[in-house]
């Protein structure tokens, strides 16, 4: 299983420049399909190849919404309802993020959000 996961990551990394800085791949866990999405904000801004990755946190609705598209036209989006404290913490991190990684479940929910800003990161596990 580890070898297969490594190969998936290796393949996803090898097509990085072709996807405008947004990387997407599908995987299965516990019988459910997930789509992993990641991107470096500065790389996406520099490339401008029609790719985007964005996450928005709404304090009033206590929610997080992420959506992305790579330059090949693949799209993914997810939504997650959270409590106020987690929403406000993620909002601050997203505003200064340099890279974002999240997983989308078949149910449309966001899972395993990781926000990186330089050497620090915030990781929120929603499973």
Which class for 79: exposed (0-12), middle (13-18), buried (19 or more C-beta within 10 A)?
A: middle
pLDDT, one tens digit per residue, over 10-43 is 334 334 444 668 899 999 999 999 999 998 766 5
Share of the chain above pLDDT 70, in %: 69
Q: Is the pLDDT of residue 126 over 90?
A: no
Of 55, 31, 51, 34, the C-alpha closest to 43 is 51
DSSP assignment of 48-72 equals -SS-EEEEEEETTTTEEEEEEE-TT
Regarding predicted confidence, which is higher, 56 or 119? Answer: 56
pLDDT, one tens digit per residue, over 56-65 is 888 888 888 8
pLDDT, one tens digit per residue, over 66-111 is 888 888 889 999 998 888 888 887 777 777 777 888 899 999 998 8
Q: How far apart are CA 127 and CA 121, in angstroms?
A: 19
pTM of the model: 0.70
Rg, the chain, Cα only: 14
């Amino acid at each position: 299983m580890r070898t297969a996961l490594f190969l998936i990551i290796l393949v996803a990394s090898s097509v990085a420049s072709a996807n405008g800085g947004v990387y997407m791949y599908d995987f299965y866990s516990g019988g459910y399909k997930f789509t992993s999405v990641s991107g470096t904000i500065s790389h996406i801004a520099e490339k401008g190849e029609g790719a985007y990755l964005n996450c928005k946190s709404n304090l009033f609705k206590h929610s997080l919404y992420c959506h992305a598209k790579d330059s090949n036209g693949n799209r993914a989006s997810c939504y997650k309802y959270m409590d106020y404290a987690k929403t406000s913490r993620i909002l601050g991190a997203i505003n200064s993020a340099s890279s974002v990684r999240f997983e989308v479940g078949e149910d449309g929910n966001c899972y395993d959000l990781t926000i990186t800003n330089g050497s620090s990161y915030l990781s929120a596990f929603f499973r």
